[in-house]
Structure 1
């Protein structure tokens, strides 16, 4: 088994993807709730920062999988 096909590489990639998605979403929710409590506009800040957290998470996922895209073409 070559290093490129290692199961550990796949496990690390999956854990990285899940941490980006969960971290961005949870961070956005907590920041949105905190700002909503501070300024009295809960739904606005919650929705705004939830979407911002999701976008940040998906951008992180894209950046994480970018080196893996096209692995099959390089052979």
Structure 2
């Protein structure tokens, strides 16, 4: 396997996939909620636009939270630290 001995490369690949998934899924969920509300209430395109913006905002918040989590995890791995795992 290509990544067999390289745990750091697998971690980076997993982090990139997680961040991309957060952004895309949040956007589509917001868009779907807005589309269904517009269809149900006949208010085209207002709820679609509003919930699309909410979805994009939620995606960026999730990406920000994930990056913060990665940074906290990597703080202990710097040079001179005793916390090597």
TM-score, length of structure 2 as denominator length: 0.74
Match of 1:47 among 46, 49, 55: 49
Partner of 2:28: 26
Alignment of 1:55-74 (within 5 A): 55-69=57-71, 71=74
Higher helix proportion: 1
Larger radius of gyration: 2
TM-score, length of structure 1 as denominator length: 0.83
RMSD: 2.1
Unaligned runs of 5+ in 1: none
Greater relative CO (CA pairs within 8 A, separation 6+): 1
Unaligned runs of 5+ in 2: 79-85
